[in-house]
Amino acid sequence: MKLLINEDFKKIYPDKITNDLNISEGVIKKEEYNKIKEGLIMTHKGKNFLLKNPDFKDLMFSIKRGPQIITLKDAGFIASQLGLMQGFRVLDCGGGSGAISCFFANIVGSKGEVVSVEKNDKFFEIIKSNADLFGFKNIKVINKDLSDYSSKKLFDAINLDLPNPWDYSSKVNGLLKNGSRLTVYVPNTTQLTHSQLEFSTKGFKLEHVFELMLREWDVNDLVCHPKFDMLGHTGFVMCFRKLEVNK
Domain ranges of the chain: 2-54, 58-242
Q: Which of 27, 30, 23 is nearest to 45 (CA)?
A: 27
Question: Any idea which fold 2-54 has?
Answer: Vcp-like ATPase; Chain A, domain 2 (3.10.330)
Q: Determine how β-strand 236-242 pairs with β-strand 10-13.
A: unpaired
Q: How much is the pLDDT for 183?
A: 98
What are the residue ranges of helices labelled H in the chain? 30-35, 56-60, 72-82, 99-108, 121-134, 169-175, 189-199
How many other CB atoms are found less than 10 A from the CB of residue 149?
A: 16
Band (247; pLDDT cuts 50, 70, 90):
low
For residues 14 and 3, give the distance between their C-alpha atoms in angstroms, rounded to a whole number. 9
Residue 2 pLDDT > 70: yes
How many other CB atoms are found less than 10 A from the CB of residue 173?
A: 17
For residues 4 and 38, give the distance between their C-alpha atoms in angstroms, rounded to a whole number. 10
Q: How much is the pLDDT for 64?
A: 85
Query: What is the share, in percent, of the chain residues with pLDDT greater than 90?
Result: 80
* Average pLDDT estimate for 154-181: 97
Q: How much is the pLDDT for 112?
A: 97
In CATH, what is the architecture of 58-242? 3-Layer(aba) Sandwich (3.40)
For residues 232 and 188, give the distance between their C-alpha atoms in angstroms, rounded to a whole number. 13
